[in-house]
Structure formats: C-alpha cells, structure tokens
Structure 1
Amino acid sequence: MLAKTHTWTPVCALDAIVPHTGVCALVNGHHVAVFRLGDDRVHAIDNIDPKSGASVLARGLIGSLGERTVVASPLYKNHFDLATGECLEAPEHSVAVHAVRVEDGRVLVALN
C-alpha cells in the first residue's frame, strides 16, 4: 500500500494564534479550524459544526475531558476531541481531523 502524500497549505504564522485558541482557515475551499495549545502543539479539524452547519468550531473553548483535549462548540456545546475529531456527546456528529505542522514558525495544514 502506498503512503498518502499531503499537499501542505500555509495558513498563518504560529504567533498569529493566541495560545489556547483557534482560528479558521480556508484550505482548498474547505473550512478548517486550527488550534494552538499552550505548549505550541497545533491541531486541525473541520470548522463546520455538524449539528448546526455553521462555521464556528474555531471559536469554541479549548479544555480537557479526562485525558482528551477538546473544543466545545459555541452553539450546542458538543465537545470534539482535537486528536480524533470524535464528538463525545454524539459520535455521529464527529468531524474530520487534518494533518497540521509548524515549519519555520508557519502553520501548514493538509486536508485528509
């Protein structure tokens, strides 16, 4: 089986994202929420809240539930695991996770 190759899209400078917050980016026409944690780890998930259809997940609150780092949707307060995209309250509303990395101080995202 061949490994999937990623097309990396620069989103912004890491310093443009305040720690413990997210930003929305349009990557190849796809709304992506990019989050920066306090230790400068970054995560990227779909930005569309599956329950409402609104592009709002980047504006959610980051926290933890047990061992999971999550974002709470600002609309319905569902929690999405930043590592897996799983919606903890309603797994049928889970979102896609995207590859993300920091290179030379810039955040790059590749759609999965």
Structure 2
Amino acid sequence: MSLTSTLDWTAVCPLDRLDPDRGVAALVDGVQVALFSTGGELFAVDNLDPVGGAYVMSRGIVGSRGGVPTVASPLHKQVYDLRTGRCLDLPGVTLPVHAIRCRDGLVEVRLRQEE
C-alpha cells in the first residue's frame, strides 16, 4: 500500500522494512512492484514474471552474476539484471525497471513511463 505521492514519486515503506537480499511486493499506483535492497543499493522491478505470467518476482532469489545484481524468477529460474531488467538467460526478454530512492528514511518509487 502506498503512503503518499509527490510529483510521480510514491512513498512505499520505511527503509528498515526491506530486508537485505529479500524482495517485497508493493502496489504503486495500481502496479505491482517488487522492491529489493542489496548491499546498500535499492532496486524496483515489475512483480510480474515476464515468462511465467504470475506476480512472483518479489519472491525471487537475489544474487549476482559477474558482479551484476540479479533476481531469479521463482517459477522457471530465469535470471534478470536488477539494474536494467534484461534477462541474462533469454535474449529479448526484459523485466520493467522503475526508479527507486530513499528519502528521509522512506523508500519511494517512480513508475517507468510507457513509451
């Protein structure tokens, strides 16, 4: 559940609600988003698995591949770059990535605008 919205940024939760290397799902302006905190970095991607078609990415396995922060789908284990959303296993498959920041102890998300 979103707390507040200011100029396209939506406050989602306090930073201390995000456990390192574990995902959490949030509803941001009607879109299910998966939030991750890894080694001091924050990431936000769609919660919808682009291959499996289920809202499960927040339950994915967080890791890294060649120094790239990743999340593996809990369904079929495709691995996605958390920075770009590019699938590292299937060419042409991507996971939408959203802007995320921490401001005054609150995690805020700005949804990617469709082009």
- Same-fold call, TM cutoff 0.5: yes
Q: Give the percent of matched residue pairs that are identical in Structure 1 and Structure 2.
A: 49
| Aligned length, in residue pairs | 106
**Which ranges in structure 2 are unaligned for 5 or more consecutive residues?**
1-6
Cross-structure match for 1:7: 8
Q: Runs of at least 4 residues of structure 1 off by over 3 A? A: none
Give runs of aligned pairs for residues 87-106 of structure 1, distance below 5 A: 87-106=87-106
Which residue matches 2:52? 52
Cα distance in structure 2, aligned partners of 1:22 and 1:107: 13
Aligned mates of 2:92, 2:32 — CA distance in 1: 19
Secondary structure at the aligned position of 2:92 is classed as helix
2:3 — aligned with what?
Answer: none
Aligned-partner Cα distance in 2 for 1:91–1:23:
26
Q: Which runs of 5 or more residues in structure 1 are unaligned? A: 1-5
TM-score by length of 2: 0.88
User: CA offset at residue 53 of structure 1?
Assistant: 1.0
Structure 1 residue 20: Cα displacement: 1.1
- Residue 66 of structure 1 pairs with residue 105 of structure 2: no
Aligned to 1:21: 22
